[in-house]
Amino acid sequence: MFELFKKKKYVDIYSPMKGRLLPIEKVPDPVFAQKMVGDGVAIEPKEGTVYSPVDGTIVQLFPTKHALGIRTEEGLEVLIHIGMDTVEMKGNGFESFVSEGEKVKVGDKLVKFDIELIKKDHPLTSPIIITNMDIVDKIVKESGGEEIKAGKTKVMRVYLK
């Protein structure tokens, strides 16, 4: 009977970008590929817009707008990192539509980025990482390689402890 009052024990993460799903191990940066920041998946984006992959609150928006963090109601923290070494761009080519503390829903527009500008000097591969793995029991990831739709395609289900 008291099961009704329990929080659900998993969070579905949807793709924040249109593109191709890749295993995290394929990210061309060992910090992400070796899961030093956390576990997750990566996306090779086809369009330059990032949408919220979860319902939650923006807890971090880097001043350079190349990365942001969202915390779900369940306490799961999701980092979206646009491209590799894009912090070097100092915000050039990035436009944010949210601010820290703002509540977001799956599919809300978060950031626009200039794919062509990034591609000139940086890989586009974009990790989607769970940064607080201490509350995670297991992650079930969708297989990589397929085309995915932003805000529509589930890329992983994260089971909580």
The domain locations on the chain are 8-160
pLDDT category of residue 2 using cuts at 50, 70 and 90? low
Q: What whole-number distance in Å separates Cα of residue 51 and Cα of residue 49? A: 7
Residue 1: predicted pLDDT? 45
- Catalytic choice (81, 96, 104, 129): 81
**Could you give the percent of the chain with pLDDT greater than 70?**
95
Q: Report the CATH architecture of 8-160.
A: Distorted Sandwich (2.70)
Q: pLDDT tens digit string along 31-69?
A: 999 999 999 999 999 999 999 999 999 999 999 999 999
Q: What whole-number distance in Å separates Cα of residue 134 and Cα of residue 76? A: 10
Query: Is 66 labeled as catalytic in the residue annotation?
Result: no
Q: Give the mean pLDDT of 113-124.
A: 97
- In Å, what is the CA distance from 150 to each residue of 74, 98, 103, 106? 22, 17, 18, 9
pLDDT category of residue 147 using cuts at 50, 70 and 90? confident
Q: What whole-number distance in Å separates Cα of residue 89 and Cα of residue 158? A: 32
pLDDT category of residue 143 using cuts at 50, 70 and 90? confident
pTM of the model: 0.93
